[in-house]
Amino acid sequence: MLVQLRRPALARIAPGLLAAAVLTPLAAGNGGYFPPAWGWSAAALLWAAAIAVLARDEVEVTAAEVVSVAAFGLLTVWMLVSAAWSGDTTSAVLEAERALVYVSGLVGLLLVSRRGEAIGSLLAGAVVAVTATCAYGLVGRLFPSVHAVGGIADTGRLAEPVGYWNGLGILAAMGAIVALGLAAHVRGRAGRIAAACALPVVTVALYFTFSRGAWIAFGFGVASAVAVDRRRWFLLLTALAEAPWIAVGVAVAATSPALTHAASPVGPAASEGHVLALVLLGCTVAAGATAGLLRLVERRFEPSPAATRIGHGATLAAAVILVLIALVRFGSPVAIAGDLYDRFNAPPPGGFNGTAGHVGRNLNLRLFSLSGNARAGLWRIAWQDVRGHPLLGSGAGTYERYYLQHRDTGLKVKNAHNLYLETLADLGPVGLVLLVAGLAAPLVAGLRARREPLVPAALGGFAAYLLHAGADWDWQMTAITLTALTCAAGLLTSTPRARWRVSITARPVRGGALAAVALLAVLALGGLRGNAAAAGSQRAASTQHWAAAESDARTAVAWAPWSADARIALGLALRGQGRQAAAHDAFAAAVARDPASWQAWLDLARTSSGRERAHAIAMARRLDPREPQVLAFR
């Protein structure tokens, strides 16, 4: 009897447990940016999918789920196929390995979820992971001595543990939107209180990132949630009631000079951090208590149709007034657009990074700059790539190569800071259509199920990601995209009725499903072995342990024979041991596998002579004419 009672409860919380168990370590490990994280996360998600296949008798499927999973699956295949015309197998395989994480995430989360019941668990798991990540990052800000070096506190833009401030910013923004929705609509007072307690933590972490794009995405996500919420009056009431506790935490953070200037002395930073910690604790308790009181209000009050109409009219009137004020203050829409364009293209504000003994400018000022930090130039080069490869694209993961060849500044980047434009440049219209289809299907499902109480929270979090991904490299950080896909899974499973019911009790069906999952898991684990060995070789080389670097590099070559990077690592290890001839052969093999790698050509030049050296350095200069290492080569 005890087992029978536990199984339904476990089934209800399983989606959230899976989401939290995968997202938390991914976010803690540099946001899942580096390849070794892709293998274990995909394998873990596929393992959960295999358990679900064994435990279930049938699978309920909607058209939106089929479209989303199929689109991401085909996108992964298209990335691999693109190596045929790009000639860059290394980048194509790496991009496909990352995309496999997203396919595995959707499949795993959908299979462990019960239709119409899982959205609350999924969103709760995402909030737990985001809150834990933000809390860990805030420890270094509230208690600066933890990360202080030489009496200087780490008080720049908050990035830990994700490793990128804008990445932590959008993660916190999604968490705040979802937590607000849960605090307003989740069943049970305890759930609402817990969600509300997360709000001060994630919003203060969001503030310390000083990420303008994340704040814009946060506003867009909240507006999206309000727009589709059938009980938006209570969502707005919850937001207004929780706003003072959020505002107090942010206000204390913003008015703490030592915490808002980079390279502050550890003494003042610690003093202000301890005060903020106490304030944040109080705000957290107050936010939870407010959510509990609002639950009582909701039970006793429901606005009449007349009050609802008045509220809608007041909202519309306020929007019109704000538009008129903007027109009076800033001029016509054309003038406003031109001013925004000029501000976006302006050079980024500087002086925020401090040095030992010299603090930087007040980071609060950064929030009022509209500079795009050179993004316009990145997008221009991406569009040139699109025009140069209009049908198929230049190949998965090749934007960096194209950018290095055509940049007109010394700025080095790997991505275009725009998911949609970079996908069009790399994978052509086919790749963009597959990406948009995979991302749009959950939105369509959510709009159809908008009567469900928690759908607005999931849709708001997902919408924030979709907007932010158009101005940053969120796709490359698997913790961020998987958090968004957790919201997407909630939208996809929110429809109480499925279009198809597929029985998996028959041995051929269950066996085929398990075989497919096992095959993907083997591929993920194989990628993990090769990527982990390559990373190990790099670490060993950085400490000049050349024998260990060689051993790991040979393992990487064995597990990833298509990889030029593995052969470059092997060549570096061999050259470090003075084995020039063997290193030359390794670099020549890297060039053969990736003729567009300036690094491979430069390393080949360093281990060759005569015409071969001249040709190698000429190729390196053609592929990256502004690279200092290439220009300095003699």
Range name among 145-154, 371-380, 616-625 with the lowest pLDDT average = 145-154
Conformational region of residue 36, where left means phi above 0, alpha means psi within -120 to 50, and beta covers everything else = alpha
Mean pLDDT, residues 431-459: 95
pLDDT for 295 equals 84
Distance CA 455, CA 145 (A): 42
Tokens found for residue 551: 């051993």
Tokens found for residue 209: 């990132």
447-466 per-position pLDDT tens digit? 999 889 999 999 999 999 99
pLDDT for 213 equals 94
Distance CA 82, CA 68 (A): 21
pLDDT for 356 equals 67
pLDDT for 287 equals 96
Contact 413/378 with Cβ under 8 angstroms?
yes
Distance CA 606, CA 584 (A): 8
Q: How far is CA 4 from the centre of its chain?
A: 38
Helix/strand/coil (H, E, C) string of 17-67?
Answer: HHHHHHHHHHHHCHHHCCCHHHHHHHHHHHHHHHHHHHHCCEEEECHHHHH
Of 250, 27, 272, residue with least CA distance to 155:
272
Contact 381/407 with Cβ under 8 angstroms?
yes
Tokens 């499927």 map to which residue? 61
Amino acid at 235: L
Tokens found for residue 89: 């197998």
Round to the nearest angstrom and report the end-to-end CA distance of the chain: 78
pTM of the model: 0.94
Would you list the DSSP string of 223-269? HHHHHH-TTHHHHHHHHHHHHHHHHHHHHHHHT-GGGSBTT-BHHHH
480-531 per-position pLDDT tens digit? 999 999 999 999 999 877 777 766 766 777 788 888 888 899 999 999 999 9
590-633 per-position pLDDT tens digit? 999 999 999 999 999 999 999 999 999 999 999 999 999 988 88
Contact 58/503 with Cβ under 8 angstroms?
yes
Tell me the domains of the chain and their CATH numbers: 64-87+116-302+353-382+418-499 (no CATH), 527-631 (1.25.40.10)
Q: Which residues of 389-423 are buried (b: 16+ CB within 10 A; e: fewer)?
A: beebbbbbbbbbbbbbbebeeeeebebbbbbbbbb
Distance CA 282, CA 213 (A): 28
Q: Three-class SS of residue 358?
A: strand
Would you list the DSSP string of 407-428? -SSS---SS-S-HHHHHHHHHH
Mean pLDDT, residues 60-74: 93
Whether omega before 161 lies within 30 degrees of 0, making that bond cis, reads: yes
528-558 per-position pLDDT tens digit? 999 999 999 999 999 999 999 999 999 999 9
What values do phi and psi take at 142, rounded to 5?
-80, -30
pLDDT for 75 equals 98
H helical segments located in 493-563: 507-542, 546-559
pLDDT for 138 equals 95
Tokens found for residue 309: 């109409």
164-221 per-position pLDDT tens digit? 999 999 999 999 999 999 999 998 899 999 999 999 999 999 999 999 999 999 999 9
Distance CA 71, CA 102 (A): 11
Distance CA 76, CA 399 (A): 17
Distance CA 410, CA 403 (A): 11
Residue 313 in this model has a pLDDT that exceeds 80: no
pLDDT for 602 equals 94
Share of the chain above pLDDT 90, in %: 69
Contact 74/103 with Cβ under 8 angstroms?
no
Q: Three-class SS of residue 74?
A: helix
pLDDT for 307 equals 66
Tokens found for residue 204: 């203060």
Of 210, 214, 216, 180, residue with least CA distance to 197:
180
pLDDT for 309 equals 73
Q: Three-class SS of residue 60?
A: strand
Confidence of residue 634 (pLDDT cuts 50, 70, 90): low
Max CA-CA distance within the chain? Answer: 87
Confidence of residue 419 (pLDDT cuts 50, 70, 90): very high
Residue 70 in this model has a pLDDT that exceeds 70: yes
pLDDT for 8 equals 66
Contact 119/454 with Cβ under 8 angstroms?
yes
Distance CA 415, CA 433 (A): 20
Distance CA 108, CA 129 (A): 17
Mean pLDDT, residues 65-88: 95
Count of CB atoms within 10 A of residue 576's CB?
17
Q: Three-class SS of residue 503?
A: strand
pLDDT for 378 equals 94
Mean pLDDT, residues 64-89: 95
- Bridge partners for 502 per DSSP: 59
Distance CA 287, CA 123 (A): 19
Confidence of residue 357 (pLDDT cuts 50, 70, 90): low
Of 468, 401, 416, 414, residue with least CA distance to 439:
468
Residue 579 in this model has a pLDDT that exceeds 70: yes
Q: What is the mean pLDDT of the chain?
A: 90
Q: Three-class SS of residue 355?
A: strand
Amino acid at 469: A
Residue 5 in this model has a pLDDT that exceeds 70: no
What values do phi and psi take at 390, rounded to 5?
-70, -25
Residue 4 in this model has a pLDDT that exceeds 50: no
pLDDT for 613 equals 93
Q: What is the CA radius of gyration of the chain?
A: 26
Mean pLDDT, residues 265-278: 93
Amino acid at 432: L
Give ∠ CA 452-204-340 in degrees, rounded to 5. 85
Tokens 């980079």 map to which residue? 262
Of 186, 193, 206, 214, residue with least CA distance to 246:
206
Tokens found for residue 593: 């596998």
Give ∠ CA 135-232-247 in degrees, rounded to 5. 35
